[in-house]
Amino acid sequence: MQQVIRISTNKHNGLFDITRKVEDVVNQSDVNTGLVNVYVQGATAGIMIQENWDNSVQNDVVTLFNKLIPAGVWEHDAQDSNGDSHLKAGIVGPSETIPIIDGKMGLSTWQNIFVCEFDGPRESRNIVVTIIKDS
């Protein structure tokens, strides 16, 4: 089973929680044991599993990347001024895979799934959710 989730982002750099949307796809699949892969399309966004207790961890992730990978100093900036966005997305990566255990995602209490936006705001980001059933 595969489904595309679409979200909009309202920040240039930010983490956007999509856990409930992915959970809905897993629930629709009726898969008891398997894997769910979450993949964001685009070269300037990533997928990260992170804590969602409050915004502090998400803000810290953005702050860390902005300190490590500043804007405006990269060769690619000559094309479209978003060299840092590509580098941040490359480090995070475009996907995460989560086990499905007893029909539910095997995330711990403090784990949530985030789209990491590094080149927003975006009217639409496509996230491909693929369910693989254990045979």
What single-letter amino acid sits at 120?
G
Give the residue numbers spanning the domain of 17: 2-133
DSSP lists the bridge partners of residue 3 as 129
Give the pLDDT means over successive 10-residue stretches in the chain (135 positions): 98 98 98 98 98 94 97 95 98 98 97 98 98 92
Q: Does the N-terminal peptide bond of residue 121 adopt cis geometry, omega within 30 degrees of 0?
A: yes
- What is the model's pLDDT at position 135? 77
β-pairing, 45-51 vs 111-117, is: antiparallel
Sheet holding 45-51, edge to edge: 14-17, 111-117, 45-51
The CATH number of whichever domain residue 15 belongs to comes to 2.60.120.460
